């Protein structure tokens, strides 16, 4: 494995402010905030975007985000009782984010793969808005090594080639693979789809679909915004693909945001926290928002349809809704597996699209369940299909 990517391995964190606060028992409900973190998948030798949810009600600032990351129960690296990074404490001052792990043990014993996993577990600190520099400390002292990896202080940015897992909607980058040296190189990799030679992809594909084009000039930046024109046949609703292109192009300091057009035309279409008719910053990006708890009348309507499908009465867990779709799971006796039903709303009510005790993601797609719904409902396999099906 090449380790040139390690220096400045901390790269990305993105927030989603999902909707407005609702009333619950007369009090404002906390707005759910999802954080994009990056983790290392040793099976595929790739670093992958995953989400974590946090209840936060006020505006996000760098320090608030750092505090939230510090409080995450899994914001530590602990592969064994003897190798551990835990109790992170973060603060932001003058654009410098300092992360101090107050409990560390056995770090000199880390293998290369374990070091990659450790760094991936903390690289979510990098793209917090207004943060220009990241420093890592162990017990208050500057961190200089992590197993076999020498660390710089401060940690420096590195550039990566992002790829897409089209089934699960994961966006990631390959470890030790081709890395763009500059913005022009990143544009060329996107245009030429230069990932097919790397066996580590294992189901990942280029961000630019076949038979589509991307036109961008690295010398034409306006106030930090890069214009990227995609051909008219490029999917405009593929949030993960478009988000990956933004991550690919905006990893260079000169590019603060990317403005998309399609065959020269501006398109008004929501994407995550932003809209395609405006510049998109990495901060604006996230996987589709998680499904919400269904209202009582929707839950009742869904239960009627599912009971009819089952042919017998049943107990149910909480129903979830996302756009015009719903999900509900039976609550059977311990010796019987629960059955999950995915339904779609029609003029006459809901109809069952798919149902199974354990529906593979690929089968859900075949049965007409949109990829975005699979992600929104957080169905098994949505986050890391390769690992969950081991």
The per-residue pLDDT for 339 is 87
Q: Evaluate whether 10 touches 143 at the Cβ level (below 8 Å).
A: no
The per-residue pLDDT for 16 is 24
Alpha helices in 94-250 (DSSP H): 112-122, 183-192, 239-249
The 10s digit of each residue's pLDDT in 265-319 is 999 887 766 789 999 887 666 444 567 788 889 999 999 999 999 888 889 988 9
SS3 256: coil
With cut-offs at 50, 70 and 90, classify the pLDDT of residue 93.
Answer: confident
- Asked if pLDDT for residue 324 goes beyond 70, the answer is yes
The per-residue pLDDT for 69 is 63
Burial letters 341-377, b for 16+ CB under 10 A, else e:
bbbbbeeeebebbbbeeebbbeebbeeebbbbbbbbb
Report the half-sphere exposure of 44 (CA within 13 A, side-chain side): 23
The 10s digit of each residue's pLDDT in 103-134 is 888 888 888 777 877 777 666 666 666 677 88
With cut-offs at 50, 70 and 90, classify the pLDDT of residue 388.
Answer: very low
- Asked if pLDDT for residue 214 goes beyond 90, the answer is yes
The per-residue pLDDT for 334 is 75
How remote is the C-alpha of 45 from its chain's centroid?
Answer: 17
The per-residue pLDDT for 12 is 29
With cut-offs at 50, 70 and 90, classify the pLDDT of residue 227.
Answer: very high
The per-residue pLDDT for 72 is 60
The 10s digit of each residue's pLDDT in 329-351 is 898 877 788 888 999 998 888 99
The per-residue pLDDT for 60 is 53
With cut-offs at 50, 70 and 90, classify the pLDDT of residue 225.
Answer: very high
The per-residue pLDDT for 247 is 86
Summary mean pLDDT of the chain: 75
The 10s digit of each residue's pLDDT in 11-55 is 222 222 222 233 333 333 333 344 556 667 766 677 776 555 544
Identify the sign of the CA torsion 237, 239, 244, 247: positive
> Per-residue pLDDT averaged across 68-72, rounded?
64
- Asked if pLDDT for residue 381 goes beyond 70, the answer is no
The percent of residues in the chain predicted with pLDDT above 70, rounded, is 69
Q: Evaluate whether 23 touches 181 at the Cβ level (below 8 Å).
A: no
- Residue found under tokens 């906390």: 30
The percent of residues in the chain predicted with pLDDT above 90, rounded, is 21
């Amino acid at each position: 494995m090449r380790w040139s990517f390690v220096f400045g391995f901390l790269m990305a964190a993105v927030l989603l402010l999902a909707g407005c606060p609702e009333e619950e028992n007369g009090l404002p409900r906390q707005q759910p905030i999802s954080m994009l973190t990056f983790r290392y998948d040793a099976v595929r030798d790739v670093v992958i975007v995953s989400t974590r949810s946090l209840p936060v009600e006020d505006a996000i600032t760098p320090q608030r985000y750092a505090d939230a990351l510090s409080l995450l129960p899994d914001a530590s690296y602990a592969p064994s009782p003897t190798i551990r990074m835990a109790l992170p404490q973060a603060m932001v001052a003058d654009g410098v984010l300092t992360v101090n792990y107050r409990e560390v043990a056995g770090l000199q014993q880390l293998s290369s793969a374990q070091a990659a996993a450790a760094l991936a577990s903390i690289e979510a600190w990098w793209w917090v808005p207004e943060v220009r520099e990241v420093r890592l400390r162990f017990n208050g002292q500057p961190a200089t090594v992590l197993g076999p990896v020498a660390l710089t202080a401060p940690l420096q940015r590195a550039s990566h080639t992002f790829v897409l897992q089209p089934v699960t909607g994961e966006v990631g980058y390959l470890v030790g693979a081709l890395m763009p040296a500059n913005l022009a190189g990143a544009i060329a990799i996107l245009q030429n789809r230069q990932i097919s030679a790397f066996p580590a992809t294992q189901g990942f594909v280029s961000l630019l679909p076949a038979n589509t084009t991307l036109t961008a000039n690295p010398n034409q930046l306006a106030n930090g915004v890069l214009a990227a024109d995609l051909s008219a046949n490029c999917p405009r609703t593929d949030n993960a693909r478009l988000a990956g292109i933004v991550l690919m192009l905006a990893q260079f300091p000169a590019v603060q945001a990317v403005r998309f057009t399609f065959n020269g035309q501006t398109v008004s279409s929501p994407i995550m926290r932003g809209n395609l008719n405006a510049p998109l910053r990495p901060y604006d990006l996230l996987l589709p928002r998680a499904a919400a708890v269904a209202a009582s009348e929707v839950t009742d309507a869904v239960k009627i349809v599912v009971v009819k499908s089952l042919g017998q009465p049943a107990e149910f867990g909480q129903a979830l809704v996302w756009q015009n779709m719903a999900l509900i799971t039976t609550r059977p006796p311990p010796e019987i597996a629960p059955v999950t039903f995915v339904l779609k709303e029609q003029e006459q009510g809901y109809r069952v699209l798919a149902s199974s005790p354990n529906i593979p993601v690929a089968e859900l797609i075949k049965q007409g369940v949109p990829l975005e719904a699979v992600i929104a409902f957080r169905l098994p396999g949505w986050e890391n299909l390769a690992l969950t099906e081991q």
